[in-house]
Homo-oligomer: A and B are copies of this chain.
Amino acid sequence: MQTSRDEAIRKLIKVFRTYGYEGTTLSLISKMTGLGKASLYHHFPKGKQEMAEAVLVHLYQMFGEIVLKPLQEDTLPRDRLRGMCEGLNQFYDRGQAACLIAVFSLGGEESMFREPVKRALQEWVECLEKILLEAGCDRAKQRAEEAVMQVQGGLIVTQVLGDTLPFEKMLAELPEKLLEGSQKDSIMVS
């Protein structure tokens, strides 16, 4: 049955996000999913690595749906950015859920997730850059990168401090800040 695997993946997401790849053990997975080793290896024959890959794919699709999709809508750039920020707040559970891009970036050169993680990050930056160019922003790529930095760092700060407020505040102001000084969407300070 397909549900079982998808259901397992949904639970696996939390484990890998919380403990990282090396910190996630099979017994931990077994405990958190309620599945025995045999069941896990039935659904993921290649073992732990396949589980992590499945989680990565699942989150990648979710990210596209929840965060990137609002950027493709046919509305004002500012509204699209707001849509993305709402998506980010949901996707990262108000900053409480770690980003696998950050978590799986550990391990130096020999990490097996470097490339897909890098591509995902680049895609995000490019999507943002496109909107900012469209809105007439200068240094669009730099702005896009800095927005991604802000979000990634926001996740860390949130988790370390155990407070979701800074993350949500930051997200709320991100669209305005990104468009600051843009030509087609200028802000008049009262």
Contact = CB atoms under 8 A, between A and B. Distances in A.
Interface string A128-169: 000000000000001001101111111111011110001001
A63 to B, nearest CB: 14
A149 B154 contact: yes
Q: How many copies does the complex hold?
A: 2
A27 interface: no
A146 B172 CA distance: 12
Interface size class of A (residues with CB under 8 A): 35 or more
A98 interface: yes
A145 B157 contact: yes
Interface stretch (A41-49, A84-92, A102-110): A102-110
B157 A152 contact: yes
Interface of A: 18-23, 98, 101-103, 105-108, 114, 117-118, 121-122, 142, 145-146, 148-157, 159-162, 166, 169-170
6 contacts: A18-B108, A19-B106, A105-B159, A114-B160, A149-B154, A153-B153
